[in-house]
Structure 1
Amino acid sequence: MLHIKNPVEKHFEKITRYHLYFYSLVFISQLPNCWHLLSIIFLSPTVDFYCNSTDGSSILKNKCPCNDPQWDKRVFTKTVQTKFGIYCDKKWLISFSESMTNVGTLLGASLFGMLSDKHGRLSMLSLSCFIVATSGCVVSIMPNIGSFIFMRCIEGLGAGGAMVTAYVLCIEYSGVNDRETVSALFHIPVTFSHITLPAVSYFLRDCNQFQLAISIPLYAFVTLTWLLLESPKWLMDNGRIDDAAMVMNKIAKFNKQPQSNIKAEIIEYNRTQNPASITKLNFFYIFKDKNLTTNFACMSWIYFVCGLGYYGVSEYISGMSKDIHRNVAISGMLILPGTLAAVILLKRLYRRTFLMSTCFLSGIFMIVVISTDASSTWMRLIMACICNCFFFLSFIIVFLYGVELFPTSIRNSVLGILSLMSRLGQIAAPPVVKSLSEITSGSVFGVTAILGAVTCFPLPETKGMELPSSLQHSKTLPRRKSMLEQSIMSAIGSKSS
């Protein structure tokens, strides 16, 4: 059957005025949203407390039991610990609070992924922003630690949903040639959230004021559903041809371009598709197809590895400096060059080659870190930062790769589940760092990253391909190896032997 190019992607081959307007608003919305994913660092930092000894002859620092602690408020005037009296045998509530926020994030990514496949990308993005803003404000007035943890979970639910829906929305507005650039640039707000959040905390040392400051700005992005247009690709692939044509005509009007007969193009495109292949799929259908099941299983492991490795190595780096504001800002600055490099590298390298390389190199550099003499502090710091940069690059690639492997009708659902796997890795990272020795935990991160590189091997290549609209399209993605992949596989094989 004659292949006709997807009419929406054909009209999106060039970046237009509307695209710049659209990307700008969506990207900016992710800056305060990502603040919420990192906020626990400044809501409950390590705070010292002092108690009188049993005989009253001396003052003891961080010693338990303690009946009436005097908190050190020189850096932070109010934190979760000082607000709710979290110390000694209650310290576990802080890590539990962080875990529940991550649970909310992974549930939000999955839930809103499925909802946006059913009800649309844009409306779910606006709803997610509303949930984050409202729950974030309510967090600041919670009267006890139980209600605080519950609202933090809801806050994470909205933040996870906002990130997934915003990302897929941006990718579906991108043409084949610009998809890599948009995917890499989407992570710039994530990076800037690392850099700017310490500044917010530096000027607002009270956890309640800090929480309100990062929450209220998100109310502005609830209006995105009125300021932007729904994904025409989602509309087209869900049979809403009139709505898709109307969106494309509004975009043409915004760009001051003549309106084309896009409706006829969409009808002709759908006519050339196999009717069975454009049937709306349920997420669980992927397990009925060998290729989709393989893709999903491989990507699930790689997402888990990226979450475990990136956040685990970040824990390593965070322990190398006592100034929390400077430490978080520097760690954000260190991944900025990698984010910018991804714009160029995604254009030049195949998806699978790039992902395999970054996983492999992050594993190698992590092994170098634990093999370097402990007295070489600066050398170990540099190696850890390079390792973290490669892990972050893996995140950038894997987000784009995951979107390109699955058809439109289940794309957000799959990305939500994959994001859940990433969050599971993030949840597992702190216990790995804190409960295992430095060499053992470093070995875990290094070995899992190298295994992630191996797991890339069965995946098809998607560079330069249209976003799959149907199951048949996803099944026919090419599977080929580059020379670099063969070299990496040979290196892995020689090391294992």
Structure 2
Amino acid sequence: MNYDLILEELGEFGAWQIGIALLLWLPASLDGVQILMASMTGVTPNRFRCKVSDHCVDDGQSFPENNSNFYPSIENDEFDYCKYYAPATNVDGTCNFDDTDKSIAYACNSTDDFVYDSFEMDNSFITDFNIVCDRKIFEPAVNSFFMIGLMAGSFGFGVLSDKFGRRHMLLVAILCCAGGSLAGAFMPEYYSYVFFRMIAGAGAEGCFLIPFTLSMEIVGIKEKVSFLPWVSYSTLLANFISIPLAVGESVISALGYAIKDWRTLQWVSSLVCLACAAIWFFIPESPRWLISTGKLDTARSVVEKASKRNKVVVSKYLLSAGNPEPEAQLQDGNVQADQPAKEDGQYSLSDLFHPSVRFISLTMFVCWPVITLLYYGISLSVDKINLTEDVFLSYILVSLIEIPSYVFLVLTMDIIGRKPLFVFSMLIPGATCLIAAFIDEGLLFTVLVLIGKFCASAAFNITYMYTAELFPTNIRNSAVGICSTMARFGGISAPWIAVYLPSQGSLPGWVAYTVFGGSAVIGGLLALFLPDTIGFPLPDTFEDLEEIKKKSKPMWKLNRATK
């Protein structure tokens, strides 16, 4: 049974495929919600202080009218809110924060009680867990632990969905994502909170990884979009599956306007995520996966239901376990029916280092973390871009900037090819980051960083699709999952390189963008040696992959590969 031949009669983008593609947008959006969850629930107050009850009666509410009267100043007209001058005592014994003794600066420590000035939220986990001053290191650790969860989810859901199927593991991913986030909303202290952030992160990665793979596997590469005749449906779905991720990031940012209590914001959004589990009742298993794992009876049932939905009739011989009849084979010979001497496509995880794919695997093990470091590193620079004074609106805009990059990919990927776009989506932001590292913040800096974010978003999307097209069906999700696991090393390091170490004076300001830019350039140069997969069906075996290597188009040509 050959799914590409079945698609010749079933159709690549009928009502059946459209319905599945739209349903898969729901779990894909959960990844975006969780990516920015901590940014919304962990907003840091602009001003705070520790209680000074040793000096006077502290009402736990008052702040100085002039910061310089109470806080020691540091460079660039900023103040050190972790230190204070002793306030004078009013007649009634209360503190006067604008009349202080500046001869000695006292330091706050983690055992002190803290008072927080009004800010964008009523509270956040920063204020509830007092993640300030000598506990400030725990703030970037929240995102790093979330990345560890993404890493576990990349590997776990990649391997398990190849073993147990896409549909069932998607349900598990949704339950992990929503359940972990929901439990985290009720945790009383920091360590249990970050534990459930890891659980939510693992599920969130599965909520994107599995829909991405499934959306590519239900279509082929021959039929074109009617109003974009050079774009295949495979390209359309593989790129548009990232749109709900950006929408999810925008939605959680918008909810921050309406819900100002961080725990309420988190449990409300988590319940909405949990409701997405209902799609399990409406989506089928991937026919391509069922065929590749020998579950032919189930695959036949899925295809028969799909044919009814698409209002077509699929020939019975195409649904048989044996080879299709000779006349059913494609005339151009590009997609061959299964032959007795051909590999059976049953591979194990160790085959990621098969000679046919070893260099591809190693190259992707470098490019994935580079792209992740670039994407999250630039995203964490939102405070430097200064798009607006509204933190929620800034996050919404920076999230929505990603969508034009996905549209750009749809319009160009089937003309230019995967490889050129993959290479330049790393080289261009590499160059912009290297330039931005050595100029002052301003309009040019903002433009360079936004160009970098545009390209990094495109690179992120190309990476998933390109990787999926370079590995045989039986290890495809495992390959994407393990590459995504490697990517999380870049994600784990991003908050430390981009924010924490420079803010502590551990690194000069130019180092972060130099690391981002230099890494991206290295990744782009390595990608020059990969084959282009444009015009080829998804490989089922290493023989198919070798055919792609031999006949992939040169990087500088715009026409489709000659197969």
CA contact (8 A) 2:10 2:313 kept: no
| Structure 1, 299-308 or 40-49: larger mean CA deviation | 40-49
Task: State the 1:306 CA deviation.
Answer: 0.6
TM-aligned CA distance change 1:4 to 1:224, over 3 Å: closer
| Structure 1, 49-58 or 437-446: larger mean CA deviation | 49-58
- Within a 5 Å distance, the mapping from 1:100-119 to structure 2 comes to 100-119=145-164
CA contact (8 A) 2:4 2:220 kept: no
Q: Do residues 408 (structure 1) and 473 (structure 2) align?
A: yes
Using the alignment, how far apart are the partners of 1:12 and 1:28 within structure 2? 25
Q: Do residues 253 (structure 1) and 308 (structure 2) align?
A: yes
Task: State the one-letter code of the partner of 2:510.
Answer: I
Task: State the one-letter code of the partner of 1:408.
Answer: T
Which residue of structure 1 lines up, in the alignment, with residue 251 of structure 2?
Answer: 196
- Within a 5 Å distance, the mapping from 1:24-423 to structure 2 comes to 24-47=22-45, 48-51=47-50, 55-56=55-56, 59-60=70-71, 61-63=81-83, 64-65=107-108, 67-176=112-221, 177-261=232-316, 263-264=318-319, 267-268=322-323, 272-274=338-340, 277-287=343-353, 289-321=354-386, 323-372=390-439, 374=440, 377-423=442-488
Task: State the 1:30 CA deviation.
Answer: 1.7
Task: State the 1:218 CA deviation.
Answer: 2.2
Query: Paired residues, what number?
Result: 481
TM-aligned CA distance change 1:265 to 1:355, over 3 Å: farther
CA displacement, residues 365-418 of structure 1 (integer Å, 9 cap, x when unaligned)? 22232344x16x011101110111011111111110000111111111111111
Task: State the 1:52 CA deviation.
Answer: 5.0
Q: Do residues 484 (structure 1) and 556 (structure 2) align?
A: yes
Task: State the one-letter code of the partner of 1:88.
Answer: C
Root-mean-square deviation (CA, aligned residues, Å) is 2.4
Using the alignment, how far apart are the partners of 1:352 and 1:298 within structure 2? 13
Task: State the 1:295 CA deviation.
Answer: 0.6
CA contact (8 A) 2:174 2:207 kept: yes
Query: Tell me, what secondary structure is at the counterpart of 2:241?
Result: helix
CA contact (8 A) 2:373 2:493 kept: yes
CA displacement, residues 429-472 of structure 1 (integer Å, 9 cap, x when unaligned)? 12222323232221211121111111112212211111111232
Using the alignment, how far apart are the partners of 2:36 and 2:557 within structure 1? 35
CA contact (8 A) 1:136 1:155 kept: yes
Structure 1 unmatched ranges of 5 or more: 487-497
CA contact (8 A) 1:12 1:173 kept: no
Task: State the 1:281 CA deviation.
Answer: 1.0
Q: Which has the higher helix share?
A: 1
Using the alignment, how far apart are the partners of 1:257 and 1:89 within structure 2? 67
CA contact (8 A) 1:232 1:247 kept: yes
Which of the two has higher C-alpha Rg? 2
TM-aligned CA distance change 1:466 to 1:72, over 3 Å: same
Using the alignment, how far apart are the partners of 1:62 and 1:329 within structure 2? 31
Using the alignment, how far apart are the partners of 1:209 and 1:44 within structure 2? 13
Give TM-score scaled by structure 2 length.
Answer: 0.81
Q: Do residues 467 (structure 1) and 538 (structure 2) align?
A: yes
Task: State the 1:7 CA deviation.
Answer: 2.3
CA contact (8 A) 2:140 2:496 kept: no
Give TM-score scaled by structure 1 length.
Answer: 0.91
CA displacement, residues 21-43 of structure 1 (integer Å, 9 cap, x when unaligned)? 11111012222332012211012
Using the alignment, how far apart are the partners of 2:315 and 2:171 within structure 1? 30
Using the alignment, how far apart are the partners of 1:483 and 1:304 within structure 2? 23
| Structure 1, 76-85 or 99-108: larger mean CA deviation | 76-85
CA displacement, residues 104-138 of structure 1 (integer Å, 9 cap, x when unaligned)? 11101110111110110011011110111122111
CA contact (8 A) 2:32 2:248 kept: yes
Which residue of structure 1 lines up, in the alignment, with residue 78 of structure 2?
Answer: none
